[in-house]
Amino acid sequence: MNGNKTNFLNSVVILDTETTGINPKTSEIVELATGIYEDGILVTESSLFKSIAPISFRASAVSNISNKMVEDKLTITENWIRVYELLKFNDKAYAVAHNSKFDSAMLETAYVSALTELDEAGIIVGYEDVKWLCTYRLAKRVFADCPDIGFKLGELRYYFDLEVPEDLVLHRADADIIVCGSLLEYIIDYAIKTDQLQDTVNIGDDLYDLCWSPIPITKMPFGKHKDELIADVPTSYLLWVAENHDSVDETSGKFDEDFSNTIIAEMENRLK
């Protein structure tokens, strides 16, 4: 492992949450796992948390976490000292997750709920200072030339034959971060190899820019013009999408920033 990559990985905490649902405003965290690099090895730890509302059978089917497993645990807002120990935000510059917008939103909801207790305990989490990286977005950008690829963590694991234990079962948080860490390393190597990233001391900041800059969408992902080049889709249909579709509505849970930016740029180009 080269020096720049090693130094960057040493500045990273990889994390994953298992939750009671997919809405950060109403769902609760029932497991948090984190991993940090020590001498080039990803070292993981995790904790379970009780939810106020019962875990539904559908959520348990995804996370493999049952109500019995958490019945004697504290909720995450009752146990932020443990969360603080896991996150290590004061020691790390970057937090990495697969679909980090979801995990960061889940943690922010819990963090805000626990602010009073944290202040009383004199605990400074460092939540506002860490930079978030998303391996889902990085994969979409860096592997754009790979045909028929999906961007779910499990699909990427097998598509690229990532170096993880063969018997590792996903959908528990500690397993997910092992795959996420392997994916992050693969993304860095692939991006450098394909000249999408420079192997410099600024690898972290460059990855951050690569991650959060808009990703152009070339084909219409839905509707009667699905799979057609957006450049060929009739203006009338794009106007309908802009005015009516959830994917371009920032207040919608289905808002897609990249797709929205693509539609705006295409319409602006046509008005020139």
Phi and psi at residue 9, in whole multiples of 5°?
Answer: -60, -30
Residue 251: what pLDDT? 85
DSSP letters of the chain?
--HHHHHHHTTEEEEEEEES-S-TTT--EEEEEEEEEETTEEEEEEEE---SSPPPHHHHHHH---HHHHTTSPPTTT-HHHHHHHH-TTT-SEEEETTHHHHHHHHHHHHHHTHHHHHHHT----TTTPEEEEHHHHHHHHTTTSTT---SHHHHHHHTT-SS-TT--SSSHHHHHHHHHHHHHHHHHHHHHTTSS--STTHHHHHHHHHHS-----B--SSTTTTSBGGGS-HHHHHHHHHH-GGG-TTSTT--HHHHHHHHHHHHHHH-
Kindly give, in sequence order, each residue whose CB lies less than 8 Å from that of residue 245, ignoring residues fewer than 6 positions away: none
Helix pair 235-244, 257-271: axis angle to 10 deg: 140
**How far apart, in whole angstroms, are the C-alpha atoms of residue 47 and residue 73?**
9
The angle formed by the CA atoms of residues 31, 32 and 36, to the nearest 5 degrees, is 150
Please give the model's pTM, rounded to 2 decimal places: 0.89
Residue 1: what pLDDT? 65
**How far apart, in whole angstroms, are the C-alpha atoms of residue 265 and residue 272?**
11
C-beta separation of 248 from 266 below 8 A: no
C-beta separation of 14 from 35 below 8 A: yes
**How far apart, in whole angstroms, are the C-alpha atoms of residue 77 and residue 241?**
40
Strand pairing category for 94-97 and 29-38: unpaired
Tokens of 241: 């999408």
Tokens 């995790």 -> residue? 46
Letter for the amino acid at 245?
Answer: H
Residue 111: what pLDDT? 87
**Sheet order of strands, 41-48 included:** 41-48, 29-38, 12-19, 94-97, 131-134
The list of the chain residues with pLDDT below 70 reads 1
